[in-house]
Amino acid sequence: MKVKQVSLIIATYNWPEALELCLNSILNQKVLPSEVIIADDGSDERTAKIIKKFTTSLFPIHHIWHEDKGFRKTIILNKAISKASSPYIIQIDGDIIVNPYFIKDHITMAEKGCFIRGTRVMLSPKMTNHIFRNSKLTILEKIQLIIKQPANALRFHPLIAKMIIRKELSGKRVKGCNMSFWKDDLIAINGYDNTLQGWGHEDEELSWRLVNLGRQKKIIKFSAIAYHIHHQYLSRKDEPYHLSFLQNIQENQIIRTCNGLKETQQQT
């Protein structure tokens, strides 16, 4: 089934400078999204000002915000998913800068019965400082990234990239900053689990329930290039609980959460 419309969800929290770089990279896409939905986990007014700057006739931009009550990424993502009007959803984070072919690559790789796990190119602190000053990487920096991270930083023609695809019935090693899904599949598993608040593994938990539903994880390399802006790690204090929660999902092959997309809609 060919994707004709795609909603791009961007998760963000109080880093408007990074979000501005992210949105600029979306404007440069060879194939534009049908809409952009900013899933804002309680940022202050600086983020709203940046989003307002990007009001464009090319595609609508929706700013979905809730009050800052700590790390509640799962809830704001569910709100964004509810807003999405397209049958296919691409998800990134607001600290991601994407290659001009990023959306086109996801659309090309989309397949019924699958969700896509992309990768990311990790920028060094030095490269991050440079890109904030100049809004783009130099050719030399891009070459350095290709040498150090070839499978993530080098883009092949889609016909070649498709030959390298792997499929797994596993939710391991997904990156919520570079994923895509069919909205119907997210509805079937009731979206993200709102129980998981604080940092850690909410993307894996979602992926395991998609796998339990019978959807394959489609791993793409040399395609959908995404550059991750360097930053300090967030607190890992909630990780032990999240890992035990994740283990229960795997062992009991749970498909649908009882505290997810539907419950978020009822509360708004």
DSSP reduced 3-state for 89: strand
Establish if 250 belongs to a structural domain.
Answer: yes
DSSP 82: H
* The pLDDT value given to residue 268: 63
pTM for this prediction = 0.96
Establish if 186 belongs to a structural domain.
Answer: yes
Which CATH number covers residue 125?
A: 3.90.550.10
* The pLDDT value given to residue 198: 84
Establish if 254 belongs to a structural domain.
Answer: yes
Tens digit of each residue's pLDDT, the chain (268 residues): 688 899 999 999 999 999 999 999 999 999 999 999 999 999 999 999 999 999 887 899 999 999 999 999 999 999 999 999 999 999 999 999 999 999 999 999 999 999 999 999 999 999 999 999 988 888 899 899 999 999 999 999 999 999 999 999 999 989 889 999 999 999 999 999 999 988 888 999 999 999 999 999 999 999 999 999 998 877 778 888 899 999 999 999 999 999 999 999 887 6
Question: d(Cα 94, Cα 235) in Å, to the nearest integer?
Answer: 18
Centroid of chain to Cα 49: 22
Instruction: Give the Å distances, CA to CA, from 231 to 95, 97, 185, 204, 222.
Output: 9, 14, 32, 21, 24
Give residue 210's domain range. Answer: 6-267
Q: How many domains does the chain have?
A: 1
DSSP string computed for 49-76: HHHHHT--SSS-EEEEE----S--HHHH
Establish if 31 belongs to a structural domain.
Answer: yes
Question: d(Cα 20, Cα 74) in Å, to the nearest integer?
Answer: 22
